[in-house]
Amino acid sequence: MSNENFQPVIIAFCCQYCSYSAADLAGSMRLQYPPNVRIVRTPCTGRLEVNFFMKAFENGADGILVAGCLEGGCHFTEGNFLAKGRVGYTQTILYESGLEFERIRMINISAAMARPFVDQINDMIETVKKLGPNPLSGKVQTVKEEIVV
């Protein structure tokens, strides 16, 4: 697939206290952005684990956007800082694994920042379009998991 026709799938993990509301506001304001983004509402970006991001990439996501509150504005005090660290760690793992670390990014958005939210989404889509499709899309077999208690 040529990069010009490529429409990336971006998973946006949005904190319900800020960026999810910003996305809602963007809708109310009739702001247009490409339909490449799949928004997943989270109670706080601090809930997100490195595992979530890795599984999303394994299952073919082309990019991941983690949208948390502005620094210092987290409802749970430090959830967005935890997410920042985990996104950084995921970038390290992706780099070591051979996948471009630019495919995941963290942004900080308040509930009133509908326009910046749309701009950030557009910027992320542009970045991922330049990188091309996730080479793993449809290649990884079903994950087997077993936990012995």
Answer for which of 57, 61, 118, 124 binds other proteins (CB under 8 A) is: 57
Q: Which residue has tokens 């109310």?
A: 28
Positive/negative CA dihedral, 120, 126, 128, 130? negative
Q: Pick one of 58, 102, 119, 123: the residue that binds other proteins (CB under 8 A).
A: 58
Q: Give 56 or 121: the residue with its C-beta nearer to other proteins.
A: 56
How buried is residue 74: exposed, middle or buried, by Cβ count under 10 Å (0-12/13-18/19+)? buried
Token code pair at residue 72 = 């210092």
Shortest approach of other proteins to residue 55 CB, angstroms? 6
Minimum distance of other proteins from residue 85's CB (angstroms): 8
Closest approach, Cβ 104 to other proteins, in A, equals 13
Task: List Cα–Cα distances, 25 to 20, 30, 36, in angstroms.
Answer: 9, 8, 18
Using CB under 8 A as the criterion, what x/- string covers residues 108-147 for binding other proteins?
---------------------------xx--xxx-xxxxx
34: left (phi over 0), alpha (psi -120 to 50) or beta: beta
100 contributes a contact to other proteins by CB under 8 A: no
Residues touching other proteins: how many (CB under 8 A)? 25
Dist CA 147 CA 45 (whole Å) = 26
Out of 18, 61, 94, 131, the residue judged to bind other proteins by CB under 8 A: 94
Residue 49 found at the interface with other proteins (CB under 8 A): yes
> With contact defined as beta carbons under 8 Å apart, do 36 and 10 qualify?
yes
| Residues in contact with other proteins by the rule CB under 8 A | 49-51, 54-55, 57-58, 93-94, 96-99, 135-136, 139-141, 143-149
